[in-house]
Chains A and B, each alone.
Chain A
Amino acid sequence: MMTLREILTSLGGELLTPGMNLDIECSKVFASDLMSDVLAFMEPGSVLMTGLVNSHVVRTSYLVNVKAIIIVQGKRPDMNVVDEARENKLPIISTGFSMFEACSRISQSFPEGKR
């Protein structure tokens, strides 16, 4: 279990949606670039880690109650995508780490089966 603030720090990330609550507790992480898999396999209330930056990531996340989106590989979504996330109260963090490295850095804090 980590707060979003702790995740942000461990990943040396940047919060792209300033002003959002970073003290929310995150107990599950789902890492995928396949929105089909997010819809089919993710536990609701997870943090989504992905390399995709299109608006479908935000809409998918909103629809399945994702708590926050972490974008890996230093990618940054377009402003309209960030705006859509803000409207839906979805925090977005961008990190320069790869998917593997980002997962590895935070995985110790999550029990097996919840990451």
Chain B
Amino acid sequence: MATYAGVEINKVSLKELLLSKSMWIIYLFLAIALWGMVDVVLERYFLSAVNAHDAGLDPTNKKMIAAMKEAVFGAGGEVKREAPWSLYIVNYMYMIYVGSGIIFIVAVAELLGEERIKRASAGFLTLGLAMIIAGLFTILMDLNILHIHHMLLSPKFTSGMWLMLPLYMIYIPLIVFKIYLTLSHKEQWSKQITIFILIVSLLVEIVEFYVQAKLFNMNEARNLWTTYPFLTLYFMVSSFAASAGVMILYTYFTYRNTDRNKCHDMMSLIQKFALYTVILLGAYEATSYLFIDKKWAEIILFGDFKLYFYAYLGMAVGIPFILLYKDFLNSSYKILASVFIIIGTYLGKIIFVYGGNAYPMSDRFGVGFEKYGEYKPVREVIFFMPPLGEILVVIGSIGIILFIYKIVDSYFSVSKMQEH
């Protein structure tokens, strides 16, 4: 073991690290991500697509013929006009929010001097950071990577979407610095600035939640997003519930064998927090639909989304509430509740994004025989199965989380409990 800048660094050989048993599961996820990336790149940059000029210049070209076939019989390209934001955005939101939620909870616990969370804060913060990076990976795959430099070359400072760039440029180093402070043995120095860093990071996180909510709220015609009351608060509450779920799972799988008592203490504390956030989320959903645009509320509560919506409520609120209400000694109830919260809140994000796109902006594709055939019933709700590459990138993003965490933990032992 070596010490650098007050942080102990484990001497781990690359062979030992990269060929360890747990890495094979990570490689599986990373392979899925890579497969997805290749699929996305092929479809996005090598899809046969032509315009009328090309068709006129060389109508017998084989590539041209293939492109014409694609234009007539193909899926219509990667991005659907009626649903521009899809699974990428769902996963980006989820990863970023849940990661930020974990970091937010840890920061608050540290400010309150809550020892049970403080001693595991390096691990939690690393997990949160890894989730944020996984979210950024997802959104990067959604964008045109070849043009991404224009975010710097021709920035539009007033755009909420552009503001996310400096926000993450501040936020990510801040989290890294927080992890450093937690791991370093410069106790005195760290105590002096820890509170300042914690407060700054809390403020940045609140701004992040606000800007994200603003991004959805700015789409004036998508009334699900514009009429959701206190959207920033909704994002925070749903994220905190999911973050608590992830934290319970993390605590159990990391500490169950090393320190049973502390593990139980931590899980009980997070369980209480999870219970409160789940109740808050339930109360929010119960009242929010009184304010949401009737057209959208109807389609989600009683229309094509109803099964998904009630499954979301059941999994994110109902079942976890029952499982978490009583402090069962057996951890499996907490684990089960966490799994339900994680899946349920993910479903909630899917409903939020796809629900916003539920109604077409023009009736061009919604009614009329041009799209569905003269005698077919009118279909109002739009749902498109995401392309295979998109699904693989989303699944593969789990590998990014595991990979980052594993590497950082191997060298810095972030999962080791720190006694302050």
Q: Do these two chains really belong together in a complex? A: no
